[in-house]
């Protein structure tokens, strides 16, 4: 039986920013520009779907929900690939990607609640697309802060040496 101190992962994610990414790539201005571009693409997906679904006689509320869910997934993958690319681990680490996706879904749920609230309040006085765009703009600030501080936060560059099971058992036997 492995000792409680053994870790399953051999390597923690390596932060690209600390391993050669340019300072310009990590600057707040460039990050905001990248965030804006990915957000605009996701917003256009959302608004396009909303328009198509409402033209297909969907209820505006259900059309907005469907458009928001799909555009949220588009936004995550664009953010992962583009906006926060310097914070991705090297190599394929599906566990890290899954963790970031789950964290993103949680923060997106909060932003979506704000987005939908603004949409519901705004659609009484605004065109359905204007109300949706306003909700998206308000939720964008939540998404940026959550992405920067929580979902795609920088991780330390720490290598964890693999431990041989036999050595751990021998060590435990000597302590007993």
Torsion of CA 73, 78, 84, 85, to 10 degrees: 130
Give the start-to-end residue ranges of the domains of the chain: 16-175
Cα 166 from Cα 170, distance rounded (Å) = 6
Q: What residues have CB less than 8 Å from 83, skipping those under 6 apart? A: 31, 34, 35, 38, 147, 152
Residue 138: predicted pLDDT: 87
Residue 16: name the closest of 89, 78, 92 by CA: 89
pTM for the whole structure:
0.63
- What is the band of 167 on the pLDDT scale with cuts at 50, 70, 90? low
Helical H segments across 56-78, by residue range? 60-78
The tokens describing 173, both together, are: 């036997």
Look at the block and give the residue holding tokens 């000792």. 3
Task: Check: CB of residue 41 under 8 Å from CB of residue 74.
Answer: yes
Lowest mean pLDDT among 10-14, 20-24, 88-92, 110-114: 10-14
């Amino acid at each position: 039986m492995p000792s409680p101190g053994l870790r399953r992962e051999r390597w923690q994610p390596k932060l690209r920013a600390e391993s050669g990414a340019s300072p310009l790539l990590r600057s707040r201005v460039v990050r905001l520009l990248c965030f804006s571009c990915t957000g605009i693409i996701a917003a256009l997906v959302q608004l396009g779907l909303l328009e198509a679904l409402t033209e297909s006689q969907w209820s505006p509320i259900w059309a907005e929900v469907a458009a928001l869910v799909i555009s949220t997934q588009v936004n995550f993958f664009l953010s992962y690939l583009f906006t926060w690319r310097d914070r991705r681990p090297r190599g394929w680490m599906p566990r890290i990607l899954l963790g970031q996706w789950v964290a993103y879904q949680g923060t997106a749920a909060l932003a979506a609640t704000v987005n939908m609230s603004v949409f519901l309040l705004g659609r009484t006085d605004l065109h359905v697309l204007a109300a949706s765009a306003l909700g998206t703009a308000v939720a964008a600030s939540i998404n940026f802060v959550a992405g920067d501080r929580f979902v795609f936060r920088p991780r330390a560059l720490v290598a964890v040496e693999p431990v041989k099971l036999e050595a751990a058992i021998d060590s435990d036997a000597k302590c007993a």
